[in-house]
Amino acid sequence: MTKQMQAAVMRKPGVIEVTSVPCPEPKAGEVLLKVEACALCGTDQRVLSGEKAVDVSIVGHEITGRVEAVGAGVTGWRAGQRCVVQTVIGCGRCPMCRVHRENLCENTFKAIGYQFDGGFAEYMIMPKVGVDQGCLIPIPDTLPADQGTLIEPLSCCVNGMAYLPMEQLDSALIFGGGIIGVLNGLVAHARGCKRVAIADVSEERLGLLKRLGLPFAAYVNSRTTRIEDWVRDWTGGRGVDAVVVAASVKALVTQGIRLLARAGHLSIFAGLPKSDPVEPTDLNVIHYRELNLHGANSSAIDAYRTALDFVVSKRIDAGRLVTHRFPLSAFHEAVKTQADPSTGALKVVIVP
């Protein structure tokens, strides 16, 4: 008789059922993971609502797991070992993949929770292409499973920040007070930026971050405060050394450029709506001030290793960021909690 497991199954866009389904078995080269925890992210919300299409019925990509079984031919992994999951799986052939920058795969990467079943289930398979790429990353037994789920989003912030010389900077302004904005700010702080500020349009969200005791120098409500005046006062008229746009608002890019000090850096971390991604800007500002503009798109293995080190070493206190935990049976409540700002949710984790 086939072993069964519980999973949050997307029957059709917007219709999710927590139900019993057959537990997968690892084929040759594959690894079966028992999911210890899987966190919800903003992209998951878009998928679950039907706004973003995926190829699978079980999503979830911010995963901590434990090896349950390995398929024939798998070496280096055995039952009982713990890991976090690298989401992105590249083609393995293009120049970017050959230097382990699979997030920039020239043949379009695939991903756990998008093209392969994800972690909102009791068990999941890491496919052979992911095992071969090294997408199972060992973690110590001392790392709590819920904190392990933060390695994936944190690695994305590490990747986006790689272009910015944070160790040399005095000030950074992060647009967006959600978990991604917070993680970007924590990476900036951990790497040595002297002062990091968070800007958000929600006073409720800013109040939550203050209560969490995060190591930020300032919080500013960008809805009620004229941000240009605030930055001028905060920096003595110089402008900020770095701006990270961690909110999907294209006008923040042009605004952020104007807020930069000479030789400053701007990271466009958040993806913008594909239906309306174009924003005019004064290119002479970039030219004459010698500004640096950077993109950010997911992450690859080196960024995961750095993120893991930040968390394990406590240079980033991941424990403060997980505000809600739910069993898989309460999946719908978890989704609703994450989507409602009044709940005070920062990071919501499913523990099967």
Q: How confident is the model at residue 48 (pLDDT cuts 50, 70, 90)?
A: confident
Q: Please indicate, yes or no, whether residues 71 and 97 belong to a single structural domain of this protein.
A: yes
Structure tokens at 17: 């059922």
How many domains would you assign to the chain?
A: 2
Q: Please indicate, yes or no, whether residues 176 and 143 belong to a single structural domain of this protein.
A: no
Q: Please indicate, yes or no, whether residues 164 and 146 belong to a single structural domain of this protein.
A: no
Residue 162 is assigned to a structural domain of this protein: yes
Determine the pLDDT at residue 67: 98
The pTM score is 0.96
- Helix count and strand count (H, E) for the chain: 12, 17
Q: Which residues pair with 22 in a beta bridge?
A: 4
Whether residue 71 contacts residue 127, with contact meaning beta carbons closer than 8 Å, is answered with: no
Q: Please indicate, yes or no, whether residues 291 and 161 belong to a single structural domain of this protein.
A: yes
Residue 173 is assigned to a structural domain of this protein: yes
* Owning domain of residue 337: 4-150+321-351
Q: Give mean pLDDT, residues 38-54.
A: 90
Q: Please indicate, yes or no, whether residues 144 and 176 belong to a single structural domain of this protein.
A: no
Q: Please indicate, yes or no, whether residues 28 and 94 belong to a single structural domain of this protein.
A: yes
**CATH number of the domain where residue 206 is located:** 3.40.50.720
Q: How many CA atoms lie within 13 A of 210 on its CB side?
A: 12
Q: How confident is the model at residue 125 (pLDDT cuts 50, 70, 90)?
A: very high
The closest alpha carbon to 69, from 25, 7, 128, belongs to 25
Q: Please indicate, yes or no, whether residues 189 and 106 belong to a single structural domain of this protein.
A: no
Phi-psi region of 64 (alpha: psi -120 to 50; beta: other; left: phi over 0): beta
What residue type is 110 in one-letter code?
Answer: K
Q: How confident is the model at residue 164 (pLDDT cuts 50, 70, 90)?
A: very high
Residue 307 is assigned to a structural domain of this protein: no
Q: How confident is the model at residue 50 (pLDDT cuts 50, 70, 90)?
A: confident
Q: Please indicate, yes or no, whether residues 18 and 145 belong to a single structural domain of this protein.
A: yes
Residue 56 is assigned to a structural domain of this protein: yes
Q: Please indicate, yes or no, whether residues 76 and 182 belong to a single structural domain of this protein.
A: no
What pLDDT digit, counting tens, does each position of 5-45 carry? 999 999 988 899 999 999 999 999 999 999 999 999 988 98
Residue 316 is assigned to a structural domain of this protein: no
Q: Please indicate, yes or no, whether residues 165 and 30 belong to a single structural domain of this protein.
A: no
What pLDDT digit, counting tens, does each position of 253-275 carry? 999 999 999 999 999 999 988 88
Determine the pLDDT at residue 1: 63
**CATH number of the domain where residue 96 is located:** 3.90.180.10
Q: Please indicate, yes or no, whether residues 10 and 143 belong to a single structural domain of this protein.
A: yes
What pLDDT digit, counting tens, does each position of 285-328 carry? 999 999 999 999 999 999 999 999 999 999 999 999 999 999 99
Q: Please indicate, yes or no, whether residues 13 and 125 belong to a single structural domain of this protein.
A: yes
Residue 105 is assigned to a structural domain of this protein: yes
Structure tokens at 89: 């799986």
Structure tokens at 220: 């500013």
Task: Write down which residue in 279, 295, 311 finishes a domain.
Answer: 295
Q: Does the structure show a pLDDT above 90 at 120?
A: yes
